[in-house]
Structure 1
Amino acid sequence: MPLSPVRLADTLTSAEVARVREIQAAATAADGVSPLSEQPLLSLDAPSGRVRHLLGYAAERLTGYAQLDGPTGPDASAELVVDPAARRQGTGRALLDAVFEAAPGARLWAHGRLPAAQALAASAGLAAVRELHKMARPLGAADLAPAASALPEGFHARAFEPGRDEQAWLATNAAAFAHHPEQGRLTLADLEERMAQPWFDAAGFILVEADATVLDAAGISPIGGIPAPHVAAFHWTKVDPEQRSSVDPTKTAGEVYVVGVHPAYQGRGLGRPVTALGLAHLAGLGLAEVVLYVDGDNQAAIRTYTGLGFRSIMVDVMYALAV
């Protein structure tokens, strides 16, 4: 089937968004893993200038899609998907070539380390430069035990309050993930976009604050003009029906969406109890399993999660042109 050139666009029509979602759903069903992660899906209907859309066609039908985030920046990244019914016809390679023509330094995510993705990467001279591990573990009655989530003295936990906590959380998130290419650059618009999703539940967005006595003792000034006490750590959990259990795909798994500790409070024993607080919340919802994602080079976090009973069940790989 002859290929037409890949088309680049700054925005998608509603019909194109619907078609990309059809391709995404078909690929997920065929491969057992979603080819597009959360951010690209949220950005399908993003305003002009936020991302670049690359559309691949066969016989004038949209059969493949790639999204390029930050094409002019140092952290340009892309993800792509091809309709399972139209694979092995050159669409994937055409999209890949178009991505690197638009942004030669881009990095490409491949979810699940599938053989077809590995073969495509090898054919294009790409090398693996980063891994993201998906880890999982069962939830049970033990996760509800109060002792499992005891915070150090001078700290207390409460639920995130929309309209009050956005700026304080953004400041702590930026500090905790200052060297992370995605999480550390979240903006208020990004946060509000996620808060608008059906899965958002403020009760599962847990903030840990330092009491005034801890702030005074540490000599820590307020962040971004936010009066003390400010956010010392947090655990944002997520319950998305599309996140299926690795043990029973008919059931939903909870997710450790993101856990962070402000650098000013690292080493104070907050990481483990704030993680346990989120697990207790998810267990209290009756969920039987929880998953999380962690960078492969973050061995400290992997050790912490392994110690909490998590095991690696899948690996996403980021590729870049070999130099």
Structure 2
Amino acid sequence: MPQHASLSGRDIHKIVTLAHRCTQADDIEPFNEQTMLSLSRPPLSYRMHFVVPHGKTIIGYAQVEVVGDGAEAELAVDPDQRRRGVGRALLREVITSLEAEITKLKVWAHGDLPAAAALATSEGFERDRVLFKLSRDLEGFEWPSAWPAGAPDDWPRGEGPAVSLPEGVSLRPFVAGEDDEEWLRVNAAAFADHAEQGRWTAADLQDRQNEPWFDPEGFIVAEGAEGMLGFHWTKVEDGIGEIYVLGIDPRAQGTGLGKALTLSGLAHLAAHGIRQVDLYADESNPRAVSLYRSQGFDIVRSDVQWAKQLNQVEDL
């Protein structure tokens, strides 16, 4: 099957069509946002595309990114071509192409579907990471009785405890082009141990700013005398809100800023008519999962990352 460093516009269209067909069949998207954005990215030495053509269509696709001595991948097979060995052949082709370079391959399976689990285990993969999708309706949410000075007048108020900020800290919208470098610094510090978020680059940030859903008013920044201390980046697509990225600089952790930013982002969404809000949290971060569960969010889906050790190195 063909392997590419970059894709033609025609192939990108076919892969997007494949993704839509998988979503319709499985009720879940087969690829994450980063994979979809990378379809049209210029060629990079650490990114590879694997395509399974069939006549004028593409029935299988995998994208691989090498990170250090490991690699991460996502793959999908057209619903009409499943159970014919296409997915297994595609996965093995990915492994073969990487065996000389990496020691571990990780593959996402969105929705933890039984067929994906069966393929992964039969090929020697083990469950390595679980990402929860949580969701709640904002109807009946306990809004605070007061917001910090400068908060928009249309943020909802209720009977909950007033929201306060650490001394000298204020909230404001993100300013594209001016806050980029400082945001990248805070994001890297806040997610230093996160496999994907912590390694975002200026290009990753710019890609999101170019998306139709990007709204700087919904990208709330907490700022003090020493610069940016945290942020709550919200997202709205198809009428559904999302806690897209919420990060706190290590300097401000433990000050209550995280809760204040969480409520501020939800208030922004509610003020714009959003009623359903989603978010993603790692199973390995029980503190965050517990916090969101306490705020009325329920786990509605699990995405599993499967891992396989390659090129075992024997101890000397």
TM-score (norm 1): 0.86
Q: Which of 154, 162, 177 is the equivalent residue of 2:176?
A: 162
- Aligned residue in 2 for 1:93: 88
Q: How does 1:22-101 map to 2 (within 5 A)?
A: 22-49=17-44, 51-58=47-54, 61-70=57-66, 73-101=68-96
The DSSP-based 3-state class of the residue aligned with 1:30 is helix
Count of residues in correspondence between the two structures: 290
Distance in 2, matches of 1:94 and 1:73, equals 25
Q: Structure 1 residues 88 and 282 mapped into 2: Cα distance closer, same or farther (>3 Å)?
A: same
Q: Which of 182, 196, 220 is the equivalent residue of 2:210?
A: 196
Does structure 1 residue 286 correspond to structure 2 residue 300?
no
Q: How does 1:1-323 map to 2 (within 5 A)?
A: 6-49=1-44, 51-58=47-54, 61-70=57-66, 73-104=68-99, 105-140=104-139, 142-143=142-143, 144-145=156-157, 149-210=163-224, 212=225, 228=226, 230-241=227-238, 252-321=239-308
The DSSP-based 3-state class of the residue aligned with 2:177 is coil
- Of 24-33 and 141-150, the range deviating more from structure 2: 141-150
Distance in 2, matches of 1:149 and 1:236, equals 18
One-letter amino acid of the counterpart of residue 303, structure 1: S
One-letter amino acid of the counterpart of residue 127, structure 1: E
How big is each residue's C-alpha offset from its partner over 1:207-259, in whole Å with a ceiling of 9 and x where there is no partner? 0012x3xxxxxxxxxxxxxxx3x110100000122xxxxxxxxxx31000010
One-letter amino acid of the counterpart of residue 237, structure 1: T
Q: Any conservation in 2 of the 1:75–1:181 contact (CA below 8 Å)?
A: no
The DSSP-based 3-state class of the residue aligned with 2:2 is strand
The DSSP-based 3-state class of the residue aligned with 1:130 is strand
Q: What is the RMSD of the two structures over their aligned residues, measured on CA atoms?
A: 1.7
One-letter amino acid of the counterpart of residue 207, structure 1: V
Identity %: 43
Q: Any conservation in 1 of the 2:14–2:57 contact (CA below 8 Å)?
A: no
- Superposed displacement of residue 60, structure 1: 7.0
The DSSP-based 3-state class of the residue aligned with 2:39 is helix
- Superposed displacement of residue 148, structure 1: 5.4
- Of 85-94 and 193-202, the range deviating more from structure 2: 85-94
How big is each residue's C-alpha offset from its partner over 1:298-318, in whole Å with a ceiling of 9 and x where there is no partner? 011111111111111000000
Distance in 2, matches of 1:106 and 1:122, equals 14
Q: Any conservation in 2 of the 1:148–1:273 contact (CA below 8 Å)?
A: no
Distance in 1, matches of 2:247 and 2:169, equals 15
The DSSP-based 3-state class of the residue aligned with 2:273 is coil
Structure 1 segments unaligned to the other structure (5+ residues):
1-5, 213-227, 242-251
Distance in 1, matches of 2:247 and 2:292, equals 14
